[in-house]
Structure formats: C-alpha cells, structure tokens
Structure 1
Amino acid sequence: MGCCCCCCAFRTTESIETCIVAKNVSHFVGKWLSSDQAIMNQWLQQQIEEVDRKTSPDPLDPSVESFKNTIESNAELLMFFNQMFTESPTKRKRKNGTPQVRNYHHMLTLINHVLKKSPEFNDSTTLVTFPITAILTKPMETIGGYAAFLNPNVNSHIKDILNTWGRYLQSLASCYILNTDKWLSAKALEKMGGNFEDDFVCDPSKPHYGFSSWDDFFTRQFRPNVRPVASPDDNKVIANACESNPFRVEKNVTKQGKFWIKGQPYNIKFLLADDPLVDSFVGGTVYQGSLRVFYYHRWHSPVDGKIVKAFVADGTYYSIPLSNGGNEYSVVISDYFQGYLAEVATRAIIFIEADNPYIGLMCFIAVGMQEVSSCEITVEEGQKVKKGQQLGTFHFGGSSHCLVFRPGVELVFDFHGYKPWPGQITTSGIKINSRIATVPK
C-alpha cells in the first residue's frame, strides 16, 4: 500500500516506520499474504478445522517428525517453542480465548497438513501464498520465536521441511490449483499483466496452460522480446535485474552496522555472507528492490561482464527483528524488515566483474524469504554474461534482490516514476531489463 505523502521517496527508515504505524497500514512482506488480518485468520481457521475433522491425525512427514524430535530432545529449543505460544498476542486468539495455533504440537500438525497443498488464490482477494508463514505469523513476533528461528539447528530442519514442500510443488499433483477458478482466472491473469498468453511461454489449449507443476508456472519465462534490454550496447546503462519495486538505496554502507536495530543500516559483512570480497564494497552503495507474488521470478544480469564468484548462502527462514518497540503486529509491516532479511535470509550471491571498468566488481544478491528460499543459480564462475542474460531463478516465488557497488561509483538511479517503499505498489513494478541506473563513464 502506498503512502499518500509526496515526500516518501528516500525518507529515513525511522520516518517510514512512523508513517506506516500512524496510518495503520496492514501490509505483509512482498504482498505474499493477504493484507487483511481477518482473511488471514479465516484461512488459518479453515486449516485448523480440516485437521480437527480427521478421525485420526495424519502421520507426520519424516521432515516434520525429525523437527519434532529435535525440539523435544533439546531443553533450550523446547523452552523457546513453548514460550512462543504462551507469548502469542491476544489479538490473534479465538473467541474462546485460546490462540488459533495452540502450541508447537498444533503448529507441526498444521505444517504437515499444508505440505500437500499448493499456494492459494481466489477472486475474493484471499491470498495465502506463504501458508507456513501464515501458521507462524504470531510465534515469529515473540521473544521465544525470535530466538528459536535464528537457531541453526532449527533452520536446518525448516530447510528439510521446505524441500519436502518444494518436491510436491514440482510435481504434477500441485497443478490442481492452476485452473480458471484460481491462478488462471481472469482476475489472476490481470494481476500478472493482463496479457499472459502473449507475454509468457504457455499453451492455453493444454491442461494448466501447459505447465507441468506449480513451480513450472511460477518460474514461467517471458516470450522473446517481451522485456527488451535497455541500451544493450551502452555499458554505462545498468539494467534492472528483477521485475521489482524500488525499496531502498543506501550509500556509504558500513562493514558492520547494527542491522538489527530500528534504523537498520545495511551491514556489508553479513549482506555478502562474510565473503573475502567484502572489503571491496565497504563505503559503497546498495540498491534493494522488492518482488511481488504476481511478478516474473527469474534474475537477469544488470551488466555485461564475467561471473567472478557465485554461491548460495544458507540462512534463516522465519526470523524478523524485535525492533518494533513491542508492537504485537510487527509482521504486518514486515516490508519494513527487508533490509534485515537481506542479511540473514537464504540468498544467492553473484559477484560480476563488469566490462565497464568504472563499474568494475559489483554484486547481485537474490534474497529468498520464508517459504521462498530456494535460489537456483544458472551461471558458473568464469562465465561471460551479457546484460539481460539469465543469472538464476527463485523457486515457488520470489521476494527481494540487491545490487551492490564499490565506493566511488557514481550512480544516477531511474525509478521510472515510482517511489521506494512505501511508495506505489504496481502490477508489474519496474520491468526487468529496463534501465535502473546510469554511470557517468
């Protein structure tokens, strides 16, 4: 949701928070969940009722069973996973006074239940593309949840659970939701640009438009020439690496800023996963853009150049910072936390030596958030790439990305009339391959 203030471009993080809280904006990160808390509660209650109606509980998937065993065999984790439910905010409780998700046993049962479900969409604006996040929304906001979801052992198990869900989303069974009542409805296709058949590689004459799985649909490709590359022969022009909305630009970034505090300055050491090349970017510039649920989810090279290094850094999946002064609805403004997530979430990190020596070494980072933490790199170290060439893709969706430049690189950004968050939320954002910045040399 946009801010009605004309001056919101490049406002400080503190003033952004003030604007959001004052206007009571209800907005989940990347618009991957319904912005209406009542719809979220309704969806979650439906899952609970489906589980409760079963005469005998379904056996836990091995990944969920292993997570349960780890929680119960570790005193510290057992304390955290009990604490996060006793601390759950009262506004998320049912009429009888008990939380919707009652305890960690209930949480695991619900997670197990959605592992054989595809992300949902329908014309009543109910949108729950992050079902596990919906289950964990309130526990994530507690002190117990904050501690638990930063634990490496917890994140290892969550990774296994998400991989299990991912295998389902890459199967034909996940296509049940790809129909004209759901993700291929007129309303959904309109949100994906309104020219779906012309824009994307698909075959409307085939079942599910020819897509073989939910993941195949979400990693759909543009048809040739739908997204032309900006000034392909001018290496002073930097192309947008993802279909995205501008979120933030920060200059003179520090190596070890306190990224978890209210102001959340970028921390290059953690943003780049403490890679040996970190020092090359201290004092440089970070641009971050945000993907939305309906966007194209592949990443393209912003410059002509050579891949110097490319790797995936494992991270957290459900961590949000406790920097909101105890606000029990901190997660509903979690777009505000994208800077934090860029430094702790699972992410693909690709260093590129630009052909333009003025740009030189730069870095592209694809940030996987929560369920969308499967980042696939499709280029190799030493490979030459052209501006607009694919670098990789998110699976099951997408969330955020960063471009990182060395100190001394002057950049004139072009946001095509859009404003950094909380500015306009558009159907397609700034198109991929279009100009995002220009350098003077």
Structure 2
Amino acid sequence: MMKFTQSIRKLFANEDLNFLLTNRIPRHTATVWMGWFSKIEIPWVRDLSIYVWRIFTDVDLSEAKKQSFKSLHDCFVRELREGVRSIDPHESVVTSPSDGIVGECGSITNGQVFQAKGFPYKISELLGASVDPQSLEGGVYVTLRLTSAMYHRFHAPYQGKIDRVVYHSGDTWNVNPIALRRIEKLFCMNERAMISMRIGSAQHQIYLVPVAAILVASIRLHGLNILLNSRYRGDHNIECDLTCTKGQELGWFEHGSTIIVFAPRGFELAPGIKSGEHIKMGCSLLTLPD
C-alpha cells in the first residue's frame, strides 16, 4: 500500500500532468460538484472518500477535536483539540492566521507584489477599489498556502475589529506553485474575500485575503451568517463591526487554499519568515511598528 501511495504521489508531482488535471477541467462545475459530494453523510461514501483523500495527502487527524466525522466535509473543516496551537502573546507580534506554507513575501513596492518569481500583480487588482494602494506602499505582505491536508480554519492575527468584508467573485484556478508559475495574476482572477481589520491601540489597518481555488470555492466567516461562494447574490461590500481577540477563530475554507496578509509601512516580517517555511497558526508572522 505504501508503494502504491508513493507511486500515485510521484505521478501527480509531474508538473504538466498536475496542471492539466487540476486546471484544464470544468473548474466551476467540478467545484460545485465537490461541494455537494463532500457533504454526503452516508457512512461508506464518507469512509471511502477519506481513504482516497489520505492516499494523496499526509493528513494528520491526531490533532483533531474529534475522531469521528459525519462526512468528508466535516473532516476537512475539523476543529483542533484545545491547546495544540500556541498563540504568541507578545503585543509586538502579529500572528499567523492559519497553518500554511509561506509563499512569496516581502515589501510592497510601487503598489506591486509577487505571486511567484517573475509573476507580479498590482494589489489594487486583488483588493479592489475600496482600498487605496498608497496606504500600503512600503508595507509588507505574506502569502500563506494551505494544502488540502492542513487545518483549514483561520484566526485573528491580532486583537482588533473587522470593519469591512468585500467579496470578489471569480474563477477557481488551482493555487498550487505549479499554477502560480504559469498563470499571471492568478490570485486577482480567483474568488476571494478581502477582510479589513483595524488592530492595536494605533488602529493600524491590515488586510487578510482568503483566496478560494478549485474544489474550494466557499468561505465561511463567523459573524456573517452567509456562505461566500459563486452562488452568493448579496451585497459584495459588507460593512461590519466585529470585535475579535488574537487567535480567535474567524472562519474557514470549505476545503483549503491561500491567505494573503497585507500590512502598512512600519510592519516587518518576523524572524524566520521566508518562502518555503512551514508555519502554524498562532506563530509570529509580522512585527508591529515601534
């Protein structure tokens, strides 16, 4: 069984095949179908689905709050046992909102950042007209990629208040590194939500951008009794007044994807934050201005 699993994973490591199978299919149809299928609560469907999923990933359920799940979806959006993540308590630290692998990160220059080496995009194209790109000039950004095996809930990186959520409908391209090296401005084309948050006594404005992907085009946010996905037909600019504490759960992806964090001038990347690093929710991600 181990050799079979390794052979399957090696096959999907081929970039051309991976890109073909995860992008050159009817992405929207596949995503809607997976949303329906993953919620089926028939035991044999659930068990077979989780079994197949674990062939392709190194999913670790030992940290899960429960070990019995109603469906594949229930397993994907699992909660963690209390105490398995530590939240950095230092007031100078903005923590990672999720588990993830650090993708591109660094400075925001000329209103531009990178999704992959040689593939820049304008933050105005990602965040939309409600954000002045000059307010982030000289600031920093971090891209966090969640694989399908990871814990999929995301949390407040600092104590503060969410004052606005802007939903952008869009495509469902895969957001793995293979696609990011081939499709320009991919994040700007995909379905996403922009979460505007004021943090700290200085009321610094930061932004969290959960980006959906193929099979993952649904985002759930606590405090908003709506599911943001391609079938959502409500207001796309949602004013909020949601107070949160550092580490408080904000919501989850229906399956897994990417979160991009933007902060203004004066913030810096925390020590050790660089492309390729694995990070856990609650660990130091950014440092606040002095």
**Is 1:172 aligned to 2:41, yes or no?**
yes
2:158 is matched with: 303
2:233 is matched with: none
**Is 1:346 aligned to 2:203, yes or no?**
no
The residue matched to 2:246 in structure 1 has which SS? coil
1:393 is matched with: 252
Cα deviation, residue 386, structure 1: 0.6
CA distance in 2, matches of 1:403, 1:332: 18
The residue matched to 2:181 in structure 1 has which SS? helix
1:333 is matched with: 178
| Structure of higher CA gyration radius | 1
Q: In the alignment, which of 237, 242, 258 is matched to residue 98 of structure 2?
A: 242
TM-score (normalised: structure 1): 0.53
Q: Is the 8 A contact 1:247 1:420 kept in 2?
A: yes
Letter in 2 for 1:243: D
Cα deviation, residue 229, structure 1: 1.0
Cα deviation, residue 306, structure 1: 0.3
Could you list the per-position Cα deviations for residues 74-124 of structure 1 after superposition, in whole angstroms to 9, with x for gaps in the alignment? xxxxxxxxxxxxxxxxx87xxxxxxxxxxxxxxxxxxxxxxxxxxxxxxxx
TM-score (normalised: structure 2): 0.77
Q: Is the 8 A contact 1:305 1:353 kept in 2?
A: yes
CA distance in 1, matches of 2:82, 2:158: 19
Q: Identity, % of aligned pairs?
A: 20
Cα deviation, residue 376, structure 1: 1.6
CA distance in 2, matches of 1:339, 1:388: 33
Cα deviation, residue 275, structure 1: 2.3
Cα deviation, residue 436, structure 1: 1.4
The residue matched to 2:193 in structure 1 has which SS? strand
Could you list the per-position Cα deviations for residues 209-257 of structure 1 after superposition, in whole angstroms to 9, with x for gaps in the alignment? 2x111111000010111112111xx3211111110111121313334x5
Could you list the per-position Cα deviations for residues 44-100 of structure 1 after superposition, in whole angstroms to 9, with x for gaps in the alignment? xxxxxxxxxxxxxxxxxxxxxxxxxxxxxxxxxxxxxxxxxxxxxxx87xxxxxxxx
C-alpha distance 296-370 of structure 1, shift in aligned 2 (>3 A): same
C-alpha distance 338-217 of structure 1, shift in aligned 2 (>3 A): farther
Q: How does 1:120-131 map to 2 (within 5 A)?
A: none
Letter in 1 for 2:163: V
Letter in 2 for 1:414: P
CA distance in 1, matches of 2:103, 2:77: 23
C-alpha distance 284-298 of structure 1, shift in aligned 2 (>3 A): same
Structure 1 unmatched runs, 5+: 1-32, 41-90, 93-127, 141-156, 204-208, 321-330
1:192 is matched with: 59
Could you list the per-position Cα deviations for residues 124-154 of structure 1 after superposition, in whole angstroms to 9, with x for gaps in the alignment? xxxx9xxxx75464x48xxxxxxxxxxxxxx
Q: In the alignment, which of 26, 31, 34 is matched to residue 162 of structure 1?
A: 31
1:367 is matched with: 211
| Greater RCO, CA 8 A, separation 6+ | 2
CA distance in 1, matches of 2:128, 2:283: 28
1:202 is matched with: 66
Letter in 1 for 2:38: L
Q: In the alignment, which of 202, 218, 222 is matched to residue 76 of structure 2?
A: 218
Cα deviation, residue 284, structure 1: 2.6
C-alpha distance 301-165 of structure 1, shift in aligned 2 (>3 A): same
The residue matched to 1:162 in structure 2 has which SS? helix
Q: In the alignment, which of 263, 268, 272 is matched to residue 405 of structure 1?
A: 263
Letter in 1 for 2:247: G
Cα deviation, residue 314, structure 1: 1.0
Could you list the per-position Cα deviations for residues 270-328 of structure 1 after superposition, in whole angstroms to 9, with x for gaps in the alignment? 120332454422443211111122110111111110001113211122389xxxxxxxx
The residue matched to 1:383 in structure 2 has which SS? strand
1:382 is matched with: 241
The residue matched to 2:196 in structure 1 has which SS? strand
Q: In the alignment, which of 432, 435, 441 is matched to residue 281 of structure 2?
A: 432
Could you list the per-position Cα deviations for residues 324-367 of structure 1 after superposition, in whole angstroms to 9, with x for gaps in the alignment? xxxxxxx983353698332221112101000241x600001111
C-alpha distance 297-284 of structure 1, shift in aligned 2 (>3 A): same
C-alpha distance 339-293 of structure 1, shift in aligned 2 (>3 A): farther
Structure 1 stretch displaced more, 162-171 or 347-356: 162-171
Letter in 1 for 2:11: D
Letter in 2 for 1:176: D
CA distance in 2, matches of 1:384, 1:284: 24
C-alpha distance 260-34 of structure 1, shift in aligned 2 (>3 A): same
Cα deviation, residue 184, structure 1: 6.5
Q: How does 1:99-110 map to 2 (within 5 A)?
A: none
Letter in 2 for 1:438: T
**Is 1:288 aligned to 2:147, yes or no?**
no
Bigger helix fraction: 1
C-alpha distance 268-258 of structure 1, shift in aligned 2 (>3 A): closer
Q: Is the 8 A contact 1:307 1:379 kept in 2?
A: no
Letter in 2 for 1:230: D
